[in-house]
Structure 1
Amino acid sequence: MPSRGTGSARWTRAVAAATLLTVALAGCTSGGKASTSDASGTVELTMLTFETPNLPASLWDSAIARVSQKVPGVKIKKLVTPNVDRTTYAKQLASSGQLPDVMIAVNPQGFAEGGQLAEFGKDELKDFASPESGAINGKIYQLPTNAQPQSLLYYNKADFTKAGITAPPKTWADFLAACAKLKAAGITPIAVGGGGQDTFASMYTWVGTVGTDVYLADPDFSKQIRDGSKTFADPLFVKATDKVAQLAKLGYLDKQGTSRSYADHEKAFRAGSAAMYPMGSWFATSADNDKPKFDVGVFPWPSDDGKAVVPNLTGGGLSVSAKADNVDLAKKFALEWTKDKETSDAFTRADGTFNTVAGYQPPADMGPLFKATLALYNQAVKDGTVTPALSIEQGDNGLPADLTVPVQQIAVELLNGKSDAQAAVAKLDKEYAALK
């Protein structure tokens, strides 16, 4: 589930932002610098993971055991983040000298510029389809392993039929018309989330509108924010933000959803809380593996002109601490993890990841919703309409990682109707100025 400064003030700010995790930390295994070598020469390395309804402990444990067998001399000690905010948690560990030796899906910005991550060389990246994805100052610090489309609209086909909607909308005007029909039929049009510490789930409407209205038209928008040539008050960004506020004002959002955790958010959609569920590709495998009581379809976030735009994160792979007891061994484990077909298949089945190791093919028996989702992504790749995803952009084209949580909190305010586009943009500019 986003320039990362390297000064002590920035790290202090990151730790302060994560104080809500302090209690959880007290009960968690910590480490990173606990790497040891036993009498046989086996090196123990810590690996930071995370668990979700799709990715339970058993999946991680089996993958770690399997890949460890392919890397003689390594023993992995698993760490688990107390929630899905892996980057903030990793920063908190780093601030006390406990940065894990291996990390998965932790945003490398800030860590990389601070010299805390090992660089992967060209030869190590030769098997990746997008070897330069997520580059920071031209260097790769996180294996560009997975593509995960964001803000796809999964929908209840029965609700669409009841409301008289004969086909998924392609344009924004058609989308608003469909929402109006659903509301008139007594059906809440759009499910939203973001309760508790799962504020990331609030982002998917905003990610969709920014992808279609901003990043497709101006792929360098984030870079221009960072170099100061643009602000979030740019007309394109205001327009995209106003669309989210418009959905709230028209009563098309399930406002109760912003109090739900991510897991409860999905459960509510499965129970019929709303007709449409803006989410990432991981929901496709969730629905295929545990089918709801209704048929689910999927379509891209609607754009003004009907282009099928797919916001996407290509990254989320493994990074290695530059201070690991054995950096070479840690990198070897990370590479073996990425290239192990059984592990890749397990995560594809569980979390809908599109593995970007060259030549990888997902299991042939993947479910219909996964295949439909993959087809949308592949078509967008072909059409050149894949864009970054707001707040989790990668590398030199990314917004500051420390901006991620404030963006999510502002998104909740938009969904609740407590903010409008102008107020949200002004607050976002203020947050960004504070980070600089």
Structure 2
Amino acid sequence: MIKARLLPAVGITAVAALALAGCSGSAGAGEGGDSNEKVTLRMLVNVTPNLTEEFWNELVAPFEKANENIDVVIQDPGAEGVAAAVPRLLASGDAPDIVQSLAPNGKLAPELVDLSQYEWAKNGPLAEQYSMDGKYLMAGIGVQLQSLFFYNKTAFEEAGITELPETVDDLTAALGKLKDAGWTPIQEGGDWMSSHTLQSLALPSVIAENPKWYQEMSAGEVTFGETYGPAIEVFSDWVKQGYVPKEALGIKYPDAEQSFLSGKTAIYSMGSWFAGSQAKAADSAEIGVFRAPAMDAGEQPAMGANIASPYSILKVSEHQDAAAKLIEYLTTDKTAVADQLEVDGNFRDGYEYEMTDLGKELLQIVADTPAEAYTPTGGGYGERTLPDGYANEINTQTQALMGGTSAADVVEAMDAWFAANAG
């Protein structure tokens, strides 16, 4: 039977006080990993329709069975979410031992334990990319790919496209063939998703040509126009040619996803989590996927990716060794990792679970992507970050492009934004 061990982040002070009273004088910061003293670990996690209370308790149950002195209490942040709950709990003196789903950033980093002493943390997915000042402040289970183009296989067949695009020119040519064959070439939408296609078009080449693009943009050492400008011009041309319908601005994300799933459009740029949506769909078009191509033939494009389920230890924890032992289990045990990857549609080379054909194609992309090829998207992560507000600004300017604003005007606006916010 699963224990009822989910604690809300609101109103847990009294419970925490009882827990501390029950184990006061037992395991300290350097104890609990192999000690026989009873340890209670509180882990603040993201609770969603997929990541349910039952899922989290079942996930840690084998660890608790193998470590009878460690009791793991799952803590639900409620409606405020993990990001908002952590600073509030730290300020109240009621912080958990472990935080899940929150990537380290400049504000949070001073509160986190450096995991550099653990090989499993240093060698984990995207570990180097998320490190800060040489410190490894989290360990994750896998990656969420972002620089992807999903495609309708029937549409490609009807348009006579027999080979997947390997360059941006190839992709542009394919879009033309799809339109000529009567298909809506690109599934776009409004809201946050507007800039996803542009970033998939631009970043693989921008980062391949300049791996320190994030740092140099933030320092004002390069300009948006000279680095991102060519992609802006290509996207603008796609709009002019009707490959990106202007009416897409009025389409919500769920409707855009459903339109592509049902076979109404040919290409859809979205993150790897789309494979989870496709797997759950009652009826879906036959869909494949290819990585976002490079501008130049022969260039190895970068791959936008985010860490899946990062775990960190707060410095205020009195049970850091026990917490590290739990995170090691969650990020290296084959069954535990596979269970977490499957529930949220994430991927990791060497860790397999029951997948659809589309999922297998994505796993092959992961296997073919060297670690150094991964890049952040949006505002970035680790030491590769852009000024606050960039994600909203690039989305706003992409919507302007979709509405007919010229590439030159958008580049000028983005250069002005960086001039005001970088450096």
Give the alignment's TM-score, normalised by structure 1.
0.76
Q: How does 1:31-46 map to 2 (within 5 A)?
A: 35-36=16-17, 37=19, 40-41=22-23, 43=40, 45-46=42-43
SS in 2 for 1:192: coil
Distance 1:88 1:44, change over 3 A: closer
Distance (Å, rounded) in 2 between the aligned partners of 1:271 and 1:188: 13
How far 1:275 moved relative to its partner? Answer: 0.9
What are the Cα deviations for residues 363-390 of structure 1, in whole angstroms up to 9, with x where unaligned? 3x433222222223333329x7x24132
Distance 1:303 1:44, change over 3 A: closer
Structure possessing the higher radius of gyration over alpha carbons: 2
Distance 1:126 1:322, change over 3 A: closer
Aligned match of 1:123 in 118, 124, 132? 118
Aligned match of 1:176 in 168, 172, 177? 172
Which residue is equivalent to 1:190?
186
**Are the aligned partners of 2:122 and 2:128 in contact in 1 as well (CA < 8 Å)?**
no
SS in 1 for 2:184: coil
Q: How does 1:46-61 map to 2 (within 5 A)?
A: 46-49=43-46, 51=48, 59-61=55-57
How far 1:141 moved relative to its partner? Answer: 0.9
How far 1:325 moved relative to its partner? Answer: 5.2
Distance 1:270 1:401, change over 3 A: same
Which residue is equivalent to 1:347?
340
How far 1:361 moved relative to its partner? Answer: 2.8
Which residue is equivalent to 1:73?
70
Which residue is equivalent to 2:147?
151
Q: Is there any run of 5+ residues in structure 2 with no aligned partner, and where? A: 1-7, 24-38
**Is 1:104–2:100 an aligned residue pair?**
yes
**Is 1:378–2:367 an aligned residue pair?**
yes
Q: Is there any run of 5+ residues in structure 1 with no aligned partner, and where? A: 1-27
Distance (Å, rounded) in 1 between the aligned partners of 2:419 and 2:316: 30
Distance (Å, rounded) in 2 between the aligned partners of 1:146 and 1:349: 11
Distance (Å, rounded) in 1 between the aligned partners of 2:312 and 2:412: 33
Distance (Å, rounded) in 2 between the aligned partners of 1:375 and 1:413: 35
Which residue is equivalent to 1:222?
214
Which residue is equivalent to 1:321?
314
Distance 1:308 1:252, change over 3 A: farther
How far 1:296 moved relative to its partner? Answer: 1.0
**Are the aligned partners of 1:170 and 1:308 in contact in 2 as well (CA < 8 Å)?**
no
Distance (Å, rounded) in 2 between the aligned partners of 1:97 and 1:258: 45
**Structure 1 stretch displaced more, 411-420 or 336-345:** 411-420
**Are the aligned partners of 2:272 and 2:345 in contact in 1 as well (CA < 8 Å)?**
yes
SS in 2 for 1:319: strand
How far 1:47 moved relative to its partner? Answer: 0.9
Distance (Å, rounded) in 1 between the aligned partners of 2:416 and 2:314: 32
**Structure 1 stretch displaced more, 293-302 or 388-397:** 388-397
Aligned match of 1:213 in 205, 213, 221? 205
**Is 1:367–2:356 an aligned residue pair?**
yes
Runs of 4+ in structure 1 off by over 6 angstroms are 31-34, 91-99
Distance 1:287 1:76, change over 3 A: same
How far 1:176 moved relative to its partner? Answer: 1.6
Distance (Å, rounded) in 1 between the aligned partners of 2:178 and 2:365: 24
Distance (Å, rounded) in 2 between the aligned partners of 1:429 and 1:86: 34
Which residue is equivalent to 1:5?
none
**Structure 1 stretch displaced more, 402-411 or 156-165:** 402-411
Residue type of the alignment partner of 1:388: T
Distance (Å, rounded) in 2 between the aligned partners of 1:409 and 1:62: 42
**Structure 1 stretch displaced more, 421-430 or 135-144:** 421-430
What are the Cα deviations for residues 210-264 of structure 1, in whole angstroms up to 9, with x where unaligned? 223310111111121233312323x121112333333333322255555555444
Give the alignment's TM-score, normalised by structure 2.
0.78
**CA root-mean-square deviation:** 3.6
Distance (Å, rounded) in 2 between the aligned partners of 1:290 and 1:278: 18
Aligned match of 2:381 in 383, 394, 398? 394
**Is 1:160–2:156 an aligned residue pair?**
yes
SS in 2 for 1:106: coil
**Are the aligned partners of 1:136 and 1:396 in contact in 2 as well (CA < 8 Å)?**
yes
What are the Cα deviations for residues 14-52 of structure 1, in whole angstroms up to 9, with x where unaligned? xxxxxxxxxxxxxx8547978442554353524131536
How far 1:132 moved relative to its partner? Answer: 2.8
Residue type of the alignment partner of 1:167: E
**Are the aligned partners of 1:209 and 1:301 in contact in 2 as well (CA < 8 Å)?**
yes
**Are the aligned partners of 2:141 and 2:341 in contact in 1 as well (CA < 8 Å)?**
no
**Are the aligned partners of 1:146 and 1:355 in contact in 2 as well (CA < 8 Å)?**
yes
Aligned match of 2:267 in 266, 276, 295? 276
SS in 2 for 1:354: coil
Residue type of the alignment partner of 1:120: L
